[in-house]
Amino acid sequence: MSENNGVLARIKDKYAELSPSARTIANYLQQFPLTIISDSTSEIAAKTNTSKATVSRLFRQLGYASHQDAKQDVVLQRDAGIPVKQVLDQHDYVAAELGNLQRTLEAIPAEQINQVAELLANAPRITLIGYRNSYPVALHCRQQLKQIRPNVRLLPQPGQSLSEDIMDLSADEIILVFGFRRRPRIFARMMEALPPERTLLFTDPTGQVYQDRVKHLLLCQLGNQFAFDSYAAPMSLVSVICNQAYTLLGDEGDRRVSTITSLYAQMGELDPE
């Protein structure tokens, strides 16, 4: 048996032993594995012109007690962030993205958005931390905050460890951590080392295990309908919070934006509109 014990790996390992009808089903599941979650045994049989009994027998040949066990296996893989290939049309993607965004923003109270924005507007220093797939979201947040306020840094620096930077955190520093699923092993130890009263965590539902280690937990929906996670909701949440922080900064934020805009023109860093 393959080290990856998912449905697709089991199909590959057992394919030579399958009957022609079972191979027809296996071929379909390899192309559309998420139908194991969305479709019943009867629906899979109808789509492959086979029988319900043949579909059930295939799952048993793959080592599952039932279709439900196979479904749970696929759900666990996607909830862990493991890519599972699926072919869907553009409408499906749009609907899924809108759903992720709506569930994310509707679940976070406006009061919490304001509290986080106030921290980002008023903190003397801000440190952002993001590893792997969380790094681009942290970089996006840094880019927005740097336009409206000073003393914002992003960790870890390329090729550098984190311990010396954590050691130098000041007592008035706010730490924004971005930790989406498939986090590196160091993440849990890092959360233990950070001061909970000054740490904010942007994460997906799997990150709720760290809720006692942070001042604010901001949950983002990444979806599990497609092979790869979507970061549209976290990116939007960052924009919502940074926009609110900019509003709270008032004239101070406006002066900084104006100065940076003049420097862009002076240095010719941006293409003319």
Q: What is the DSSP code string of 249-263?
A: HTHHHHHHHHHHHHH
Choosing among 3.40.50.300, 3.30.70.1380, 1.10.10.10, 2.160.10.10, the CATH entry for 7-79 is: 1.10.10.10
The model carries a pTM of 0.68
Please state, as a whole number, how many other Cβ atoms lie within 10 Å of the Cβ of residue 254: 12
pLDDT of amino acid 16? 84
The pair of structure tokens assigned to 194 is 């950070």
The pair of structure tokens assigned to 106 is 């509707």
What are the backbone dihedrals phi and psi of residue 178, each rounded to the nearest 5 degrees, phi first?
-110, 115
Split at pLDDT 50, 70, 90, the class of 1 is very low
What CATH topology corresponds to 91-267? Answer: Rossmann fold (3.40.50)
pLDDT exceeds 90 at position 271: no
* For the ranges 32-36, 85-89, 229-233, 247-251, the one whose mean pLDDT is highest: 247-251
The CATH 3.40.50.10490 domain(s) of the chain lie at: 91-267
Helices 7-14 and 67-79 sit at what angle, rounded to 10 degrees?
130
Q: Which of 198-202, 247-251, 258-262 has the lowest mean pLDDT?
A: 258-262
What pLDDT digit, counting tens, does each position of 153-171 carry? 999 877 777 777 788 888 8
Taking residues 183-194, report their average pLDDT: 91
What pLDDT digit, counting tens, does each position of 231-250 carry? 888 999 999 999 999 999 99
pLDDT exceeds 60 at position 84: no
Please state, as a whole number, how many other Cβ atoms lie within 10 Å of the Cβ of residue 32: 17
The CATH 1.10.10.10 domain(s) of the chain lie at: 7-79
d(CA 105, CA 67): 34
Distance of CA 81 to the CA centre of its chain: 8
Helices 251-267 and 135-148 sit at what angle, rounded to 10 degrees?
100
Cβ within 8 Å of residue 101, ≥6 positions away: 221, 232, 233, 236
Please state, as a whole number, how many other Cβ atoms lie within 10 Å of the Cβ of residue 85: 13
